[in-house]
Amino acid sequence: MIEIYLFIHPLCPDSLSSEKRLLQMIQNAPKKVQFKILPLLNLHTFQQFLMKQNTKFLNLYERNQLFDAAYSAALDYKAIQLQGKKKGRLFLLNLQDKVCNEQIPYSKQLVVDIIESINGDLDMFESDRQSDVIKQSFETDQAIAKEMSVSKTDSAVFFNYTKNQDYGVLVEDGLTTELLNELLQINDEEPSELTIYKQEQATVKHADLAHCALKLLKN
């Protein structure tokens, strides 16, 4: 089995593209794959988002509005996930599509409309959304990102349990179809063409694969 953690900004077009690309690849993967999408939102990743969207010159009020919308969207996603991972993923993809592609501003009404459109339980969502458990779940995602040394959104960590490996492969840039195909069909040999950082031995091997920075992390 292969397990994938994808760290995303909940309202970023690049994250939406990464999610769709991975979902498409997983459908054709030769091994069973568990796919987890985790929101990663802090001041550092938010600044990255502003740079990507060419909105770095917004005033403080506008920045706060964007951050609050992203944070609320992340909590919405965590809340709807309590109704099932598939339901949560469907909600997230719909929300991102509305905001990123249709240019509909994030709002509570938009969230309600999407939940109703995917046949979610709105009463359950509203109750869960107010729970401290949701905020704790979000904080857990941030802790997981820190533990895996993830500092950028659209980063993915791959674990291949079929080979009894005690490390994961972290892709920080360039989730290309070619690279994903390689990672989803990892053979029994250690990936010699990847940039490898072994935490246990603190050694570094240098290589260059499609200009992507990859790390092997202790599980």
**What pTM was estimated for this model as a whole?**
0.82
pLDDT of residue 32: 84
Angle at alpha carbon of residue 72, lines to 58 and 21, rounded to 5°: 85
pLDDT at 190 over 60: no
Cα 199 to Cα 87, 162, 189, 218: the distances in Å are 36, 21, 19, 6
pLDDT at 100 over 80: yes
pLDDT at 188 over 70: no
Is 33 within 8 Å of 184 (Cβ atoms)? yes
Percent of the chain with pLDDT over 70: 81
**Nearest CA-CA partner of 175 in 3, 10, 19, 9:** 19
Helical axes 122-129 vs 108-117, angle rounded to 10°: 140
Angle at alpha carbon of residue 57, lines to 13 and 145, rounded to 5°: 45
Could you tell me where the DSSP H helices lie in 58-200? 60-80, 85-96, 108-117, 122-129, 132-147, 177-183
